[in-house]
Amino acid sequence: MPRSKRILVCSCLAATLVALGTGLARVEAQSPSAAPTEAPAGFNTPSFNGAHSISNGLVEPPGDTFARDQAVYEQSETVANGLGPVYNATSCVVCHQNPNSGAASQITELRVGHNDAIGIFVNPTILINDGQNTITGRSIVNDRAIGPQAQETIPETENIRALRAALNTLGDGFVEAIDDSTLIAIAAAQPKQSEGRVHGEVVEAPIFEAPGQTRVGRFGWKDQHSSLLSFIADAYLNEMGITSRLRPTEVTTVLLTTTGINDKPDELGLADIDHFAQFIRGTMVPPRDAVLAASSAAIRGQALFAQVGCAVCHVQSITTAPAGTVVNGGMFVVPVALGNKIIHPFSDFLLHDVGTGDGIVQVGPQDTANKLRTAPLWGLREKARYMHDLKSLSLEDAIHRHDEEARDVARQFRELRPEAREDLITFLRTL
């Protein structure tokens, strides 16, 4: 190819990727020797008040703003623009709002399925329209429908049934910017740190925007997604019934009122999923309660957190890849706002069997059925219920439920003196 044509193709490709909100705008390479800096922290996205929200400094695509991204994230869908036919919520913020837009919630979704004769997990066959039609190929069951004919019902044969909490998305741009090798290294170190009892599982998840390519999964309770665009597009379809360029096929045609892809680009060339991704990538990480964290009780509790072994999975500090690092199958370049940043998620983003697994298999192999992603503890103090199913109503109960890989850790917590246990709980309340 002549040099002039190569330049034109590269220029067009770069412009297209910027327009899709992939973060290529004004990316500056960082020196490998540059000292990492702390990621900005704050609950700075007040719900339904985007004009007062503050981003982490992420550069917006031409014409876009962080406030506009948030407004799209909070916008309610309607049947006229593609909501349903089956769905759980009418907007992203319905499930991600506590204490502000993008955060976690106390809302759960339902997953079901069954095992075949040799114990292999099989996605369910869900009945709709009085049994005249079915929905297959996914484990999620939607609670709502735009009409009674599309309402999903679960046959008794689908005897694996589990609830999962809606996840926090604040700071997930930094999580996306973690290099695969970092997560793999954390998994490799865990057996030695735990005398062989703990070993997080790494799974490779497909990248919808880069067909045929995979990356280490980090989003969703099963690490079923490795890129934010993939995670978002999947949720847009399965939680709201909105099709996009990355998930173009409707869940069912019963009561379907629209044709073609629902999520179309706006005048900036950005579809809703691009605005969603830009909003999440622009959020700060959940902050700690700095006053409580400085207390002597919390300081003692943090030492105990590491001493009893909690920190093996709930990793306190991770550094993101340098700005300029190409990830997501070449479709995203880590920007300066997210690159070489120290985050404190208190998670390894790996799959573990802690005795509360839901029996569901998604992207990973069959041995992941009873494994779940380590819940990041940042933002914990804003929750009233805990664990993946929200069935724990106290932090003590959540710790007691840790079994299997974490059995020894839970035992050590129980054996602490009462005042020491309270110190550890005080520390958790700083997160």
For 275-292, write each residue's pLDDT tens digit: 999 999 999 999 999 999
For residues 71-76, average pLDDT = 98
For residues 296-310, average pLDDT = 98
Residues 82 and 80: their CA atoms lie apart, in Å, by: 6
For 217, the token pair is 């999964």
Mean residue pLDDT across the chain: 93
Q: Which of 272, 289, 261 is nearest to 93 (CA)?
A: 272
Residues 262 and 242: their CA atoms lie apart, in Å, by: 6
Burial of residue 163 (number of CB atoms within 10 Å: 0-12, 13-18, 19+): middle
Exposure of 72 in the CB half-sphere (CA atoms within 13 A) = 22
What residues pair up with 333 in beta bridges, in sequence order? 326
pLDDT at 33: 67
177 phi and psi angles, rounded to 5 deg: -85, 0
Query: Is residue 420 a contact partner of residue 427, using CB atoms and an 8 Å limit?
Result: no
pLDDT at 299: 98
Radius of gyration of the chain (CA): 22
For 185, the token pair is 């290294």
Residues 349 and 270: their CA atoms lie apart, in Å, by: 29
Tell whether the model's pLDDT for residue 369 goes beyond 60.
yes
**pLDDT > 90: percent of the chain:** 91
pLDDT at 34: 86
Tell whether the model's pLDDT for residue 179 goes beyond 80.
yes
pLDDT at 339: 98
Q: Please, what's the b/e burial string for 51-65 (b: 16 or more CB within 10 A of its CB; e: otherwise)? A: eebebbebbbbeebb
For residues 216-226, average pLDDT = 98
Residues 370 and 278: their CA atoms lie apart, in Å, by: 33
Residues in the chain: 431
Query: Is residue 207 a contact partner of residue 328, using CB atoms and an 8 Å limit?
Result: yes
Query: Is residue 208 a contact partner of residue 260, using CB atoms and an 8 Å limit?
Result: no
Confidence of residue 32 (pLDDT cuts 50, 70, 90): low
Output the furthest CA–CA distance in the chain (Å, rounded): 74
pLDDT at 31: 60
Domain ranges of the chain: 6-428
For 246-268, write each residue's pLDDT tens digit: 999 999 999 999 999 999 999 99
For residues 345-369, average pLDDT = 96
pLDDT at 344: 98
Q: Given the DSSP bridges, would you call strands 37-38 and 341-343 parallel, antiparallel or unpaired?
A: parallel
Q: Map residue 98 onto helix, strand or coil.
A: strand
Residues 386 and 421: their CA atoms lie apart, in Å, by: 18
For 90, the token pair is 């009418």
Q: Which of 29, 137, 115 is nearest to 358 (CA)?
A: 115
For residues 168-178, average pLDDT = 98
For 7-18, write each residue's pLDDT tens digit: 333 333 333 443
Tell whether the model's pLDDT for residue 27 goes beyond 80.
no
For 246, the token pair is 């990355």
What residues pair up with 133 in beta bridges, in sequence order? 128
pLDDT: is 312 or 26 the higher one? 312
pTM value? 0.92
Tell whether the model's pLDDT for residue 431 goes beyond 60.
yes
153 phi and psi angles, rounded to 5 deg: -130, 145
pLDDT at 393: 97
For 96-141, write each residue's pLDDT tens digit: 999 999 999 889 999 999 999 999 999 999 999 999 999 999 999 9
